[in-house]
Structure 1
Amino acid sequence: MVLCLVRHGETLWNRERRYQGQVDVPLSEVGRRQAHAVARRLAAERWDRVYSSDLARARETAEIIARHCGIPLLTDPRLRERAYGRLEGLTRQEIEVLTGGKGRREQDLEPYGVERWEDLADRSQAVVDEWVSAHPGERLIAVSHGGWIRALLGRLFPDRDPDMPLANTGVTLLHREQGRWRRILVNDTAHLQV
């Protein structure tokens, strides 16, 4: 199996550095251009299907990819971003003020309704395990969110930096063979350099 993970295109909240979580923020014009760029890149290869978070920013990115690649699109709410509860829509500075400077540790975020990182990792891995069983040997694209992709990569590859930023429409390519995942590309944005 080949799995291509794509983070959604840019939103205005990305530009403003706001925590989006599960708020349904649409793509910006820049985000749409990024989505077309990654779609053109992916259309150069054969893919079987694209899965997407049901949130607008990921779904629109995936719709553009599906059209360019001529493949079916399936949405799944399990691909949603980490829920940030009452912190959704806030900037890092606003969160620091709200939490009294304690907004960096997992246990300090729970009272605000933030989804536990471990729960996000469980959710992401469960979906991918399902795909492995349902689509052996296929080439899948999954359009999701930075937190979801980082949680999955952290689960599959515990040696990687869990805080590594992922660019909008960054491509991460994974190959599964004989029960093991291998990283081919991580957060590649060559399509944005053209």
Structure 2
Amino acid sequence: MSAPRGRGRRIVLWRHGQTAWNLEQRFQGTTDIELTAAGVSQARRAARLLAALTPDAIVSSDLRRAAATAAELSAVTGLPVTHYEGLRETYAGVWQGLTHTEINERYGDQYEAWRRGEPVRRGGGELETEVADRAAPVVLAAADKLDDGGVLVVVSHGGTIRTTIGRLLGLDPASWESLGGLSNCSWSVLGEGARGWRLTEHNAGSLPEAVLGDDT
């Protein structure tokens, strides 16, 4: 997918703050886990930074950890938040609530196939391409409402953000994992150029800076 050319919009894809299951390294998926106190603090700090980008719109997953993170940016900017089920994390079926060790012990063959990068319905859940099928259109529809040079903040989840970036950049799904993960309350930025969307920041925790001398 690509956006119309020449409008100079930006999409900031922001992962939610820390949860108890993050600390325990449990697969959350669509389980509705709240932020920890540290996660709330992370969201407040990041919100103050992202507010400096003067966003024009905020959309968020409707799961509490993302919605609470988005609410911190809303409080600083005064912008409303629109929540979408389509921005939820990957549904991981029976893997949800289990640690990586527990998953490997119970579903070893499936776990190893996933680690090798094969398309896997983890725990009987969604494929990564199916997550992109539901999330990317939400992001593009919101971005299409922006004026030239507008900024959209998307508050979502690590897996969903990675698949959405991969889809918007037109990457082969087999290469999406090469994008790497996002830390809690870090973000990635897609900028709109003459040839569509381009990844300009990844797993950032500070404000984006201009790229000087790119490709020279």
155, 176, 179: which one aligns with 1:143: 155
Contact 2:93 2:122 in 1 (8 A): no
Aligned 1:1-194 pairs, distance under 5 A: 1-106=9-114, 109-110=120-121, 112-137=123-148, 138-157=150-169, 158=171, 162-163=177-178, 164-178=180-194, 180-190=196-206
Structure 2 vs 1, CA of residues 81 and 124 (structure 1 numbering), >3 Å: closer, same or farther? same
Contact 1:42 1:69 in 2 (8 A): no
Which consecutive unaligned segments of at least 5 residues does structure 2 have?
A: 1-8, 208-216
Shift of 1:100: 3.2
TM-score of the superposition, structure 2-length normalised? 0.81
Shift of 1:16: 0.4
Shift of 1:66: 0.8
Q: Structure 2 CA distance, aligned partners of 1:108 and 1:119?
A: 11
Q: Percent identity?
A: 35
Contact 2:111 2:122 in 1 (8 A): no
Contact 1:102 1:108 in 2 (8 A): no
Structure 2 vs 1, CA of residues 142 and 108 (structure 1 numbering), >3 Å: closer, same or farther? closer
TM-score of the superposition, structure 1-length normalised? 0.90
Contact 1:78 1:123 in 2 (8 A): yes
Which consecutive unaligned segments of at least 5 residues does structure 1 have?
A: none
Q: Structure 2 CA distance, aligned partners of 1:24 and 1:75?
A: 14
Question: Counterpart of 1:190 in 2: which secondary structure?
Answer: coil
Amino acid across the alignment from 1:97 = E
Q: Structure 1 CA distance, aligned partners of 2:19 and 2:155?
A: 15
Q: Structure 1 CA distance, aligned partners of 2:119 and 2:109?
A: 10
Q: Structure 2 CA distance, aligned partners of 1:108 and 1:175?
A: 28
Structure 2 vs 1, CA of residues 132 and 40 (structure 1 numbering), >3 Å: closer, same or farther? closer
